[in-house]
Amino acid sequence: MTTQTPEKRQEIADELRELQAQMLECLDQAKRLIEQSGQHTTLQRAEAYWLAHARIALTNNHGYLGGSMCSMEDTIDEFAGSEDDED
C-alpha cells in the first residue's frame, strides 16, 4: 500500500466531501420532482426505501433510525483524520 502525505489525504477528503454534497443535492432534487408530481404514495415509498437508503449510505446526519456500517462520511473522516491506513 502507498503511504500518502497528510496534504494528499486532505485533498482526497475534500474532493469526496464535494461529491457527497452533490449526491445529497441530487437526492433532494429527486424528492422535489416526486413531490411536484403530486403522487403522495410514490413519494412515501421513495422516502421509506431508496431515498432513505441512499442518504444513510452517504451521511451519518440523516434523521433515520439506524445507519450504515460504513457511510461515505465515515470514509471521508478516515481520509481526513488518519495518519496511515490500518490494513
Q: Which residue range(s) make up the domain with 66?
A: 6-80
Q: Note the pLDDT of residue 2.
A: 65
Residue 74 · residue 87 · CB < 8 Å: no
Q: Note the pLDDT of residue 31.
A: 97
Number of folded domains in the chain? 1
What are the tens digits of pLDDT across the range 18-42? 999 999 999 999 999 999 999 999 9
User: Does 85 reside within a domain?
Assistant: no
User: Does 54 reside within a domain?
Assistant: yes
User: Does 74 reside within a domain?
Assistant: yes
Greatest C-alpha distance within the chain: 52
What are the tens digits of pLDDT across the range 43-56? 999 999 999 999 99
What would the grid cell of residue 39 be? 403522487
Assign 84 a pLDDT band (cuts: 50, 70, 90): low
pTM given for the model: 0.84
Q: Which long-range contacts (CB under 8 A, 24 or more apart) does 79-86 make?
A: 79/9, 79/10, 79/12, 79/13, 79/16, 80/9, 80/10, 80/13, 82/9, 83/6, 84/3, 85/1
User: Does 87 reside within a domain?
Assistant: no
Start-end of H helices in the chain: 6-37, 40-48, 50-58, 72-81
